Chains A and B, each alone.
Chain A
């Protein structure tokens, strides 16, 4: 992919004396991880398609501190948080949307105590609201009738009680939505949370992502839908590990909507 897409920054908006409707918090995975960058681009295409007036922080964005806090480094977390909050407050940010449930959770739940108060939405919630407002068209396209299972990200589901927004979008894609044995409140973690993404797992009998992928495969989906860049990596690795690469795709809900619209 070498198409350049227009992504305005908060600094550019400020230079023009304007405020965007929403700040798109890209997150570290969305900025640097090759797989997650595709999700970022798909989401931006949807935002542009829906005519959403958005901006990113670009080089002024920094890690929310989620992995630092969950790894036990409260000091580093708060340094990150306070720095990010200063930047966002300077731009008078009111509303934030992000495609990463970890960023979503941290900014939504842990920034207010440090002086950062914003309306924060996960991208599936935001896309759903765009759909409800009639700004975004969500239609079956190539996914119509396909068997899809949704893997609940812990930090969207259990941590914040959002199980329906991604599923509502998938239903609008007219897919055959099938649930894994453990789903929603009982959904099994992909194995990446709590800073596990950045370290080798402790000795055990199996890797968590393999356990989860095997469960997903039992549901016989054509696509495993995800809502988190880290889940996406873990499940993609799991599908490779189970030699199902040709049969099962792992896609973010935003990518699916964008693909269905041929964006």
Chain B
């Protein structure tokens, strides 16, 4: 019976990490439903990870939320060191194992954690106020009601409670307070418990310790169901983000092949395609569902943490159009999750459900409101590219459905017939020099 706590700890740990791994595997499987991408320019990509993801360079474009985010981010990264001690203590029944090995350094570490805990706590409260009291516009959009709104707040509550528990467990740890090494914040909180008996303190300390570690494991598993996956996916997402100029839109190779063939006078128009070639023809041009998107675009969707910087910089959204780049990403993820659940329910095979990303999630009106200005791409702190999804869905609408707005059909007919979007004669192209 002496080892009961150790066994319980092991079980909780295995269950927590196990279920998380199970869900992450699902994320990876779902992302792989997308079209594969080849990745070059590795050096530049690593540099981007260093600057944009680790260095948070694009977060600080908005100084207030950027600074607060850096506090929480540093808190998260640095305080995870403490997790190592908690896990060792839990598994082996030790208590603050590092304190006997690290000496003075232990105090420095725990002291840093305590200060960060307070800073994170304060930042998270400011975040909560921004969302719920100040009601900053980008958190109030149409797509931010119901689950996305509650999700945002739930994450903040989690962080408040976890920071509170960490400080409480330090404050009520009689042994730790007696060490008087690193209790920079908790010594003041300990004062609140001054009248409490040592036995009761111990119970509070143990309770805080257990709820803290269990809370962290619950939070870890909450990630998969929430927008908060960005704390992990932001790094690979930035790595896979575009390294070409933002104005360079994807070249559709299948179309290139067709066009080159049309332009080549030596092509035999009656030639049968070489064996196996038929499969190489794409099922469709552009994208109408998540399977038509690339793996990077699907990773983008899981990475989005719904901060709404894209939407608040989008000229269409600013002027009251339905388009919201954030919603494009949220819809893509929701549809991808739906497809994933369909695959789970049907023994690993996707059974068509008469639904798709286009129409059931994203409307044509949203797609046609985009000016392709790249403001959303520029605004994203983690290199998400909503514009590429919009453009590929437009391509599907035009090339598969001939469903462009009529004025654009006229424009395209003009380009085709007389080489300009307006009905002017190509032979008049130099007339300006004579006018």
Contacts and interface: CB of A to CB of B under 8 A. Distances in A.
Contacts of B246: 158-160
B318 A188 contact: yes
Interface string A184-196: 0110110111111
Contact of B415 (A68, A82, A196, A210): A68
A208 B320 contact: no
A56 interface: yes
A161 interface: yes
A80 B378 CA distance: 29
Contacts of A189: 315, 371, 373, 375
Contact of B321 (A33, A40, A71, A203): A203
Interface residues of B, number: 69
Contacts of A202: 316, 321-323, 365, 368-369
Interface residues of A, number: 76
A82 B260 contact: yes
Interface in B369-390: 369-375, 377-378
A90 interface: no
Interface string B315-331: 11011111100000000
Given A7-B433, A109-B245, A199-B405, A114 B411 contact: no
B247 interface: yes
Interface in B399-427: 399, 404-405, 407-408, 410-412, 415-416, 419-422, 424, 426-427
Contact of A58 (B249, B370, B429): B429
A49 interface: no
B249 A70 contact: yes
21 contacts: A4-B433, A28-B424, A31-B420, A31-B424, A62-B420, A65-B415, A68-B411, A70-B249, A71-B394, A108-B247, A110-B251, A154-B371, A154-B373, A160-B245, A160-B246, A185-B61, A185-B378, A186-B61, A189-B315, A202-B322, A205-B319
Interface of A: 1-2, 4-7, 9, 26, 28, 30-33, 37, 40-41, 44, 56, 58-59, 61-63, 65, 67-76, 78-80, 82, 86, 105, 108-110, 113-114, 154-155, 158-161, 185-186, 188-189, 191-208, 210-212
